Amino acid sequence: MKKKRTKIVATLGPSTDSPQVLEKIINSGAEILRINLSHGTNSDHVKRIKLARKTATKNNKYIAIMLDLQGPKIRIESFSGGSVYLEEGNIFILDKSIDPKKGSVNGVCVLYKNLTQDISIGDTLLLNDGLIVIEVLKINGTAIHCKIVQGGLLSDRKGLNKSGGGLSVDAITEQDEKGIKLACSLEVDYIAVSFVKSEEDIIRVRELVKQNNGFAHIIAKIERTEAVENIYKIIDFSDAIMVARGDLAVEVGYASMTALQKKLIRLAKEHNKVSITATQMFESMITNSSPTRAEVSDVANAVMDGTDAVMLSAESAVGSYPEVAVSKMSEVIIGAEKHESFKSLNDYRINAIFENIDESIAMAAIYIANHLNIKAIVSLTESGSTTLWMSRLRSEIPILAFTRNLTTVRKVLLYRGVYPQFIDIVDNTDLNSMDQLISETLMRENIASPGDLVLCTFGDLRGIPGRTNSIKILEVRNIES
């Protein structure tokens, strides 16, 4: 199978606890494995991460681990019978004084203490990802009386949003601080921050990672109206963004979501950051063995928009066909990447003035490779930053990150079109030996054949991140020749 350029994030859960299933998921194309701290226990998370790493090693694969913080998602509590059916036009009360286990068709407990301060009469509230719509009629003490505008079945612990945003809950909770500590102890590669409102949330998480001696990179989940309003600073302070379309669509409106998704992917690329498109991409595959045509189009369009990765949530974590979902998503990605618009060259940053030498080397390398018969691009890199800059330009040419740092190996797994290769070299390795190692590796991996041209980027001073300053064209050759 042809290598895909767009990466897959697959969420681990009960459906992936079988070593055989997890092996199929990794071999079918999942490069990043996600742990959602909203579900399961710390013991579950530790077991799944250990199994994932063991399975990847057994299959000679690299994988990155992402820990997704629970965040301050506001939820209703429970109903006496587990669920109720809300009829349009009836009154429904949200009140923290209601017994948390005894909600009814008349009302339910919401423990978020600032809800009465954050809303006003006339506001629209949305339950269960917008499937239930209620309008605030009056506020009497702790009781919020609402009219049911759009009814339906409502079950325990469903989420609550305010249309247009504006709920004041902090993004980083005490539970999230414990999650960050766990992430650092497990040496995960990425931490996803839920319900980000501003760059201050990202700064706080980065401080906590540093305090806990972690090295995880930070993903800002864009799922609040406030995040959209502060998107430029959030992107600047993050390593990546996730277009978390569930809660985001509820807050900004479904009609605005598609255009906003495209804008967020474009902004991430323009700021040399990574983007992940998530939520309900193959939702039907929780119970079905094939995606719908609409879901296929959804994934394909995200790929053609230039997203770095697409994500599976419940489809892999609790679905009936987790390995099939990954396999089908890989097929859709490869099909989308064959599309003419994806292959076409563009003039992105063609007139830009670069501040860093290594960034200018990266842009020059892609330009040369796209206009010469180059089989692959090899970047000798310490931090992976050169390959990140390269991956912001559309190209069919594979970018290989040759690095001796395992943290960099795992980090670049999220970059579109970048494939890591761990190499055990020392600082004084001579260039001839390096050329031979590159040729040997590319032939062994069936990426290039003798006589093919390969473009290489490297730095004169090894062991120092950010010092890439050279480009050379190498002709692949057999060791014996």
- Say yes or no to pLDDT of 46 above 50: yes
In the block, residue with structure tokens 């490069």: 31
pLDDT at 221: 98
- Among left, alpha and beta (phi > 0; psi -120 to 50; other), residue 331 is alpha
Q: How many percent of the chain have pLDDT more than 90? A: 78
- Say yes or no to pLDDT of 431 above 80: no
What dihedral angle (degrees, nearest 10) is formed by the CA atoms of 266, 268, 271, 274? -130
Q: Say which residues have a Cβ less than 8 Å from residue 350's Cβ, sequence separation at least 6.
A: none
- pLDDT classification of 427: cutoffs 50, 70, 90: low
Mean pLDDT of 297-320: 96
The architecture (CATH level 2) of 83-162 comes to Beta Barrel (2.40)
Find the angle CA(31)-CA(37)-CA(42) to the nearest 5 degrees.
100
Find the angle CA(245)-CA(246)-CA(247) to the nearest 5 degrees.
105
Q: Say which residues have a Cβ less than 8 Å from residue 331's Cβ, sequence separation at least 6.
A: none
pLDDT at 428: 58
> What is the token pair recorded at 327?
């396999």
Q: Are 255 and 246 in contact (CB under 8 A)?
A: no
Distance between CA atoms of residues 368 and 379, nearest Å: 14
> What is the token pair recorded at 320?
């009936």
Mean pLDDT is lowest, of 74-88, 238-252, 354-368, 399-413, for 354-368
- Residue 172 φ/ψ, nearest 5 degrees: -105, 110
Sign of CA dihedral 257, 40, 314, 266: positive
Mean pLDDT is lowest, of 5-14, 152-161, 345-354, 370-379, for 345-354
Find the angle CA(445)-CA(437)-CA(367) to the nearest 5 degrees.
75
pLDDT at 1: 43
Of the candidates 224, 218, 222, 305, which has an alpha carbon nearest to the alpha carbon of residue 270?
Answer: 305
pLDDT at 242: 98
Per residue in 447-479, pLDDT tens?
999 999 999 998 865 555 657 889 999 999 876
Q: Say which residues have a Cβ less than 8 Å from residue 351's Cβ, sequence separation at least 6.
A: none
Q: Are 86 and 148 in contact (CB under 8 A)?
A: yes
pLDDT at 387: 95
CATH number of 357-475: 3.40.1380.20
- Say yes or no to pLDDT of 141 above 80: yes
SS3 per residue for the chain? CCCCCCEEEEECCHHHCCHHHHHHHHHCCEEEEEEECCCCCHHHHHHHHHHHHHHHHHCCCCCEEEEECCCCCCEECCECCCEEEECCCCEEEEECCCCCCCEECCEECECCCCHHHHCCCCCEEEECCCCEEEEEEEEECCEEEEEEEECEEEECCCEEEECCCCCCCCCCCHHHHHHHHHHHHCCCCEEEECCCCCHHHHHHHHHHHHHCCCCCEEEEEECCHHHHHCHHHHHHHCCEEEEEHHHHHHHHCHHHHHHHHHHHHHHHHHCCCEEEEECCCCHHHHCCCCCCHHHHHHHHHHHHHCCCEEEECHHHHCCCCHHHHHHHHHHHHHHHHCCHHHHCCCCCCCCCCCCCHHHHHHHHHHHHHHHCCEEEEEEECCCCHHHHHHHCCCCCCCEEEEECCHHHHHHHHHCCCEEEEECCCCCCCCHHHHHHHHHHHHHHCCCCCCCCEEEEEECCCCCCCCCCCEEEEEECCCCCC
Average confidence score pLDDT of the chain: 92
pLDDT at 460: 67
CB atoms within 10 A of CB 402: 23
Mean pLDDT is lowest, of 67-76, 172-181, 283-292, 458-467, for 458-467
pLDDT at 481: 45
Distance between CA atoms of residues 188 and 217, nearest Å: 9
Per residue in 242-253, pLDDT tens?
999 988 998 888
- Residue 193 φ/ψ, nearest 5 degrees: -100, 120
Mean pLDDT of 99-122: 95
Instruction: Decide the pairing of beta strands 160-162 and 124-127.
Output: antiparallel
CB atoms within 10 A of CB 108: 25
- Residue 123 φ/ψ, nearest 5 degrees: -65, 150
- Say yes or no to pLDDT of 97 above 50: yes
Per residue in 315-347, pLDDT tens?
999 999 999 999 999 999 999 998 855 555 556
Indicate the fold that domain 7-71+171-339 takes in CATH: TIM Barrel (3.20.20)
- Say yes or no to pLDDT of 277 above 60: yes
Domain residue ranges in the chain? 7-71+171-339, 83-162, 357-475
Top-confidence residue, 428 or 149: 149
Find the angle CA(66)-CA(72)-CA(76) to the nearest 5 degrees.
120
